[in-house]
Amino acid sequence: MQFILGIDIGGTFTDAFATDEQARVVSAKAPSTPDDYARGVIDAIDELATRLQLSTADLLRNTSYICHGTTASLNSLVTGTAAKVGFMTTCGHGDSIVIMNGEGRYAGLGPEQIQDFTRTNKPPPLVRKRLVKEIDERIDYKGAEILPLNEEVTRSAVKELIDEGVAAIAVSLLWSFRNPSHENRIRDLIHEIAPEMYVSLSSEVCPRIREYPRSVTTIMNGQVGPALRHYLRSLEAELKQRSFGGVLLIMQGSGGTISAETAPRQAISTIGSVLVGGVVGAVNLGESLDHKNIISTDMGGTTFLVGLVVDGKPVTANTTVINQYTLNLPMVRVAAIGSGGGAIAWIDQGGNLKVGPRSAGAAPGPVCYDAGGTEPTITDADLVLGILNPDFFLGGRKKLRRDLSEKAIREKIAGPLKMSVEDAAATIYSIANAQASDLVRKSVVSAGYDPRDFALYSFGGAGPVHCAGYSADLGVATVVVPLGSTAAAFSAFGLAASNVGLAAEVSRPQNFPISAEVVNATFDELETRLRADLDAQRIPFSRVTMAREIDIRYTLQLAEVSTPVKAGKLSESDVHGITEGFEELYTKLYGKGTGYREAGIQFITYRVFAVGYLPFKPTLPELPKAKNSLKSAIKGTRRAFLDVVAGWNETSVYDYEKLAFGHELEGPAIVEAPTTTVAIPPRAGATVDRLGNLVIHFG
Amino acid sequence: MAVTIPGSEIFAYKGNTGEAVHAKASKYLNLHTVSATGADQVDPLTFEVIRHRLWMATEEMGDAIKRMSGSIVVTDANDFNFALMDEVGDLVQIGPYNAGLAIALDRAVKWTLENRADNPGIEEGDMFLCNDPWVGGGMHQNDVAVYGPLFWEGKLFGWTSASSHQLDLGGVAPGSWTPRARNVFWESLPTPPVKIVRGYRLQRDVEDVYLRRSRIPRLVALDLRAQIGANNFAHEQLKTLIRKYGPDMVKAVMKRMLDDTESRVRAKLRAIPDGNWHAVSYQEEAREGDRGLYKIVLNLIKKDDHLTFDFRGTDPQVEGLINCTHSTLHAGILWSTLPALCGDIPWAAGGLLRCFDIISEEGTLNNCTFPAGISKASVASGWTTANAVQECLSKMMIAHPEHKKSAMSVCTGTWSLAVLSGIDQYQKPFVTMLMDPMAGGMGARTDGDGVDTGGLPGIVMGRAPDVEMVEFMNPLLYLWRREEADSGGPGKFRGGMSASMCIVPHNTETPMSLVISGSGKAVNMNVGLHGGYPGNSQVDITLRDSNLPELIRRGIIPASLDEISGQREIQPSEKESYLNPTDVHYLYWQGAGGYGDPILRDPAMVRRDLIELRISTEAAHAIYGVVLDPKFEVDHKRTGERRAKIRADRKAKARQVPAEVVKSVKSAPGEHDVQWNENMVESDADGRRILKCNHCGHAICTRGENYLEHLAMIEGAPREAGPQIFAEPWSYIDTKVVFRQFCCPGCHTAFLTQVVPENFTTRYDLDSAA
């Protein structure tokens, strides 16, 4: 018997999911332990073992892989508790990380914040001036050495940094991706003085043109690296002590995993894995449901997140923003707005009703939590509208106070707008749905796709309450609420089923025409490096795939289009074909007639993604065909508002636990599950599929 | 006096109301309208849902144009914008990029409706192109607007527009700004609205007319496609919305967005006390070889819920390139007004426009007539107008306890232009503008420092490119790009720092052309507020025949100009120059002005600035009056002594002032007190309204009097304003420049600190009219 475990460390809970070859699945939950996250992980594994009626040692002895995602790295960056890092860069350019190309004042902020121009600020500096060392050396755009590395200056800089007590040294020199020799030499010099020092080199972390994001990525890698190295060493020791002999894998922001052994070197790639869990869960559930194109929507307490899966793979972006700093990092592209269940409804100075982006969060939370909140939220509106059951929220674990919600909506919204409380709640509900719908539509369309080619998955506590509302106008093919065995720990399920994913890239900016020789040599170099990296994972993969792309642009454009490139040795005409592929993609993204080949074409960055497939995939248990009648699953009825057109209706309420494969529900209906509530409006219906998911359809 | 060319009158457009435009255009066109009551009756749900979607559509338009553009000015520096307008061209939504590029779009559309509806007609699938700043659409000829009508069931429903700065559109100098220009005929040809797309088809002949003038036609063509593509993109989104909600409902929401912005701006204005505020912003050198100094004068009158921008007193238009048209004046006003007044109000600029009027005399610097030279308008008289507006609006907002948080001293006061052209390292011709000065200093605020290298005032999302991208594209090597200590104007809250850069030609054998243009070298444009000091002087220096190659051979990469030998050329404000392969060029652009007297700055913040190399020890001592002990901690005792000495020095130097108007002033806040700003409170005393010092209670004068005459005034050499003022004004202009400071006669806290021409008459705020 072999198990696979998935463990997702969230801000509040550590979720765990286990599955074996017989499609047995269990999930468990333990409080997260921010002082030492490993303890929460072990607690969650203990809980899994208990549910499987095994000892922890027996479970771990029979576990092949543990895949684990963590917010720890990201949290340390956001809360400023990251390691003290020294930064070495080319003389004259030490200020690049404080100038931040000027964009640091607004990068990553929402439109409301950006528009409030006079109140915008840059984030605190990544590295204090005292810890920034400018080194005499210079490489030019061709990779030619203009000025040799001054080793004397380098050594004394290293000594000064060590005296300052840095935990890591980040090195990012101009044009190091064209010629890494100076960076490599600096690492040697550092290790001569301090053999154990964690060194982060920009030519290894992200060998991509544009020094500002490259330096930021390299520094942040240094900030999270030592802590991750320490944490993984101790977790591995703890697991080993409990008889674990398998492979510990860490989820990356790109949606693929990496072995714990090699993760610390590329520590920065593990940030963002917390956002990715849902999308990866969607990929894996999609395999069971035969959905290749999926819009993954996750509506939690504070945010509404949208990710895309196309052709079975998460759609990634090559840059990301953390704390207003831009990073060169391939990451699953997730769009977010402050429209979670805790988003606050308010009236602006113009007397217009707004919902979000400010959130009541988990504390005090919605007014109905009776924990001190006074501003009405989306969840309060859901309660007033009869969609949520005050006695069965999260399976009855939390009692809600409808009277408080009504009072808050009356005082803050309905009174000033001269509406009834119910109408005000209905308006909040509908605005929240419209905002979510706009974000989904924008995410899909701006990536060059059509929503009609997608299935939409909805999860997170508040997602299923709203998904019918925000999906109706999108024209998506189908809407799935994952409610089967995966519901309780959807992200952890996603992790458990994930393969190893590695990427290698390098910038070789050049004007087209570019000879096949150059392109072949560059891909050879990247693929050789990736094969070595895959070997270092020490996993007997069932198979390995590689996918190539080149970031291409018309001369001078800022945004490159990542253009797929076929495998194998390329001929001159193949290389020409790449530019045709680029122009096709460009047209798809920006419309007919927008390309202009005469402006010239440039190849900027070459990238290869490798996927190492784990030898076995979890299968999900199938439900037997329903034997009971649909009627027997009805708990009762209540008056509820599920849709603007249909208004209020007496609505059947179903107990999810009594629903079974094949049941077909007609709207208006409400399904109460232990983890969430599903609203099925009039003119919509839902069926329970063989895995226990609710599949909603319209009209 | 300005002479106007007969036949140019039709292009001298100052914008008409929606009603007037409608009346003219509806003779030839079926315009889609809704009644005013329709707009009032939109329910809150529909309003918010459609408003949100319109926002998304304009946002997507920005994303699209940015990704498609081929110009580093657009893509790496965000020098572009886009807008959504109603059927008569009123701006319903503008994007957050270069506000100046979107604001005059309404005029281009209105002019087009008035003058093109008949011939060649405005039809479905058409788009127009315009770069005529007399008509509107942009601030100077480099700003090109491409805009298209959206038709629904045969009626013109509204307009979308995308505009961006083009690197070169001809004229006698690369980059299309020539410092030699005496009038517009030296510059890029202004193109009044022409139909560039007809029935969804790009008109090859019209495109060629447009491209033929440029030194880089291929890039301009790529950008043109990006602009057309962005409009198409927005039209698709709008059509989807109209299909779902119907044209009347969507239009009603658009109208209500205008009303909503108007009523919120008015409410904000009503809350602020009525008053007058003054500002003067200078530019030197109208063209190459000129040694003049030119001013734009503003009197802002705020009464009830209305603003009047009165520019009378502004200098006449000049023979040179620094003038701007009325459209650019209008854009300059909004450039500052949108961020200052509308940070928390949607940018339906059409609604904001209803809240103010402009008084300006034709034939002046910022209201020039054809054929005045305007190629530098955006960053010359347009920006200077924005500086004056920024200063006045901030002083006005500071009079309100809540809104003062949106006030900001003047940011980087001008652009530091360097356009390079020649043969690049790939043996191809190139033209480029250095966009690094986008990382300018932002103004100090009433509760905190300005953002260092944070951007430029009107370009909400401006951006400087990465050094590597510039070196990849151009035959240049950067010796450095770094923040400069002391560049932020000293103050209780410091102005944001600027930066400097130093470049050398690399991998090129041929000399390149270098066009230099940038003011603020002799007289500071980045003024401080309420006692705050101006930011640094701008400077450009070229070292000819430098020994850099030799230094590099010896393994030395210099960290300052002093380490390089060569013939030093201090560049004037306007110059067409060149760079030889062995030359070195240095640019140091402007930081922002400070807020409040620097001797009021928290010594801990001064210490932190010293540690992070944001100020020099000289400034800490001389200007901030802070002394650190050998352990680098604040020495509070000696700091107190040093600051007392600064006050005593001011007292010793100041002229005599009249005695206090009343002897007994209550120090406790009175019921009817008005806190006008950091330094001055209006209060009741002896049965009259007086102005007193907010710090020591000294009674200055009766309200209504010229309080400046009752303040202690000091005058001295410009360098007394601190080490950031290093200019030698005589290298640029003939006028003598002085440091001038007005202080409380009681405690000698600085109320106003200026670097101005000697003959400058400082006007007092609150009561004095123009």
Q: Are B529 and B595 in contact (CB under 8 A)?
A: yes
Are B70 and A556 an interchain contact pair (Cβ–Cβ within 8 Å)?
A: yes
Q: How far apart are CA A153 and CA A132, in angstroms?
A: 13
Judged by a CB distance cut-off of 8 A, whether residue B398 touches chain A is no
Please check whether residue B339 touches A, CB under 8 A. yes
| pLDDT, tens digit (0-9, with 9 covering 90-100), for B479-521 | 999 999 999 999 999 999 999 999 999 999 899 999 999 999 9
What's the one-letter identity of residue B276?
A: N
Structure tokens at B254: 């658009």
Asked if B426's CB is within 8 angstroms of A140's CB, the reply is no
CA distance B647 to A688: 81
pLDDT tier at B610 (50, 70, 90 boundaries)?
A: very high
The tokens for B680 are 């001055």
Q: Is the ipTM of this complex over 0.90?
A: yes
- Position A556 scores a pLDDT of 66
Q: Which of residues 399 through 418 in chain A touch B, CB cutoff 8 A?
A: 417
Asked if A130 lies within 8 A of B473 by C-beta distance, the reply is no
Q: 631-670 in B: which are within 8 Å (CB) of A?
A: none
Q: Are A95 and B69 in contact (CB < 8 Å)?
A: no
Q: What is the pLDDT of residues B694-720, one digit of tens each?
A: 999 999 999 999 999 999 999 999 999
Give A 346-405 residues with CB within 8 A of chain B.
349-350, 352-355
Cβ within 8 Å of B, A 599-628: 599-600
Distance to chain B for A255, nearest Cα, Å: 25
Q: Which residues contact A535 (CB under 8 A, 6 or more apart)?
A: none
Q: pLDDT tens for residues B223-236?
A: 898 889 889 888 98
Indicate yes or no: CB of A599 within 8 angstroms of CB of B222.
Answer: yes
Work out the average pLDDT over A422-430: 96
* B685 pLDDT higher than 80: yes
Chain B partners within 8 Å of A148 (Cβ): 555
Whether A174 has its CB under 8 Å from any CB of chain B: the answer is yes
Q: Do B69 and A558 touch (CB under 8 A)?
A: yes
Q: Please determine, for residue A43, whether its predicted confidence score (pLDDT) is greater than 90.
A: yes
Residue B225 has its nearest CB partner, among A349, A434, A596, at: A596
CB A671 within 8 A of CB A694: yes
CB of A645 less than 8 A from some CB of B: no
d(CA A151, CA B342): 54
Q: What is the DSSP letter of B731?
A: G
Q: How far apart (Å, rounded) are the C-alpha atoms in residues A679 and A668?
A: 8
Contact call for residues B396 and B277 (beta carbons, < 8 A):
yes
Residues of chain A contacting B589 with CB distance shorter than 8 Å: none
Q: What is the pLDDT of residue B40?
A: 74
| Cα–Cα distance, B129 to B197 (Å, whole number) | 9
| Cβ within 8 Å, pair A122-B482 | no
Q: Is residue B271 less than 8 Å (CB to CB) from chain A?
A: no
Q: What is the pLDDT of residues A242-278, one digit of tens each?
A: 999 999 999 998 888 999 988 998 899 988 776 787 8
CA distance to partner chain B, nearest, from residue A142 (Å): 8
Q: A140 vs B507: CB contact, 8 Å cut-off?
A: yes
Q: What is the pTM of this model?
A: 0.92
The C-alpha of A472 sits at a distance from chain B's nearest C-alpha, in angstroms, of 13
How confident is the model at residue B75, as a pLDDT?
Answer: 58
Percent of chain A with pLDDT over 90: 65
To the nearest 10°, report the CA torsion of B318, B324, B329, B331. Answer: -160
Q: In B, which residues are within 8 Å of A213 by CB distance?
A: 466
- Interface contact flag, A93 B480, Cβ < 8 Å: yes
Please indicate whether, in this complex, the C-beta atoms of A118 and B408 are within 8 angstroms of each other. Answer: yes
**A95 vs B222: CB contact, 8 Å cut-off?**
no
What was the pLDDT predicted at A80? 66
Residues B161-187, mean pLDDT to the nearest whole number: 90
Contacts of B749 (CB under 8 A, 6+ apart): B531, B597, B599, B600, B647, B679, B693, B695, B696, B743
In this prediction, what percent of chain B has a pLDDT beyond 70?
A: 97
Above 60 in pLDDT, residue B70? no
The tokens for B69 are: 């553009």
**Chain A within 8 Å of B556 (Cβ-Cβ)?**
yes
DSSP of B484-497: -TT-SPPSSBPPPP
C-alpha B709: how far from chain center: 32
Task: Give residue A588's pLDDT.
Answer: 79
Residue in A closest to B499 by C-alpha: A99
Minimal Cβ distance to B439: which of A99, A355, A594: A99
B339 vs A117, A445, A556: nearest CB: A117
Q: Which chain B residues are closer than 8 Å to A128 by Cβ?
A: 611-612
- A218-247, pLDDT tens digit by residue? 999 999 998 888 889 989 999 999 999 999
Min Cα distance B766 → chain A (Å) is 24
User: Which residue in A348, A95, A445, A324 sits closest to B461, CA to CA?
Assistant: A324
Strand partners, B732: none
Pairing of strands A478-481, B127-130: unpaired
pLDDT of residue B41: 78
Whether B49 sits inside 8 A of A431 (CB atoms) is yes
**How far is A424 from chain B, CA to nearest CA, in Å?**
9
Question: Could you tell me which residues come within 8 angstroms of residue B227 by beta carbon, excluding any fewer than 6 positions away?
Answer: B65, B144, B146, B162, B163, B164
Asked if the C-beta of B55 comes within 8 angstroms of chain A's C-beta atoms, the answer is yes
- Give the pLDDT confidence score for residue B163 in this predicted structure: 87
When scoring A120, A141, A605 by the number of chain B Cβ atoms within 10 A, the one with the most, hence best to mutate, is: A141
pLDDT in tens, B531-588: 999 999 999 999 999 999 999 999 999 999 999 999 999 999 999 999 999 999 999 9
Tell me which chain B residue has its CA closest to the CA of residue A122: B451
Chain A residue with the nearest C-alpha to that of B343: A116
Residue B483: closest C-alpha in chain A: A95
Residue-level pLDDT at B607? 97
Q: Is the pLDDT of residue B757 over 80?
A: yes
- Distance between the two ends of chain B, CA-based, in angstroms? 22
Set of chain A residues whose Cβ sits within 8 Å of the Cβ of B216:
none
Of B52, B472, B613, the CB nearest to A435: B52
Shortest CB distance from A209 goes to which of B76, B468, B477?
B468
pLDDT greater than 70 at residue B252: yes
Q: Considering only A401-405, A485-489, A542-546, A652-656, which range has the smallest mean pLDDT? A: A485-489
**A114 vs B contacts (CB less than 8 Å):** 96, 460-461
State how far the Cα of B469 lies from the Cα of B76, in Å rounded to an integer: 9
* Cβ contact, residue pair B264, A350, below 8 Å: yes
A113 touches chain B (CB under 8 A): no
State residue B419 phi and psi, 5-degree precision.
Answer: -110, 125
Tell whether B482 is within 8 A of chain A (Cβ).
yes
Residue type, A425: A
For residues B237-265, average pLDDT: 94
How confident is residue B101, by pLDDT bands cut at 50, 70 and 90?
A: confident
Provide the pLDDT for residue B1: 46
Please judge whether A100 and B232 are an interchain contact, meaning their C-beta atoms are less than 8 angstroms apart: no
B27-58 pLDDT tens trace: 999 999 998 777 777 888 888 889 988 888 88
Residue ranges of domains in chain B: 21-263, 273-588
What is d(CA B281, CA B279) in angstroms, rounded to the nearest whole number? 7
Q: Chain B residues with CB inside 8 Å of A215's CB? A: none
The token pair at A257 is 């995993």
Residue A610's nearest CA partner among A112, A262, A201 is A262
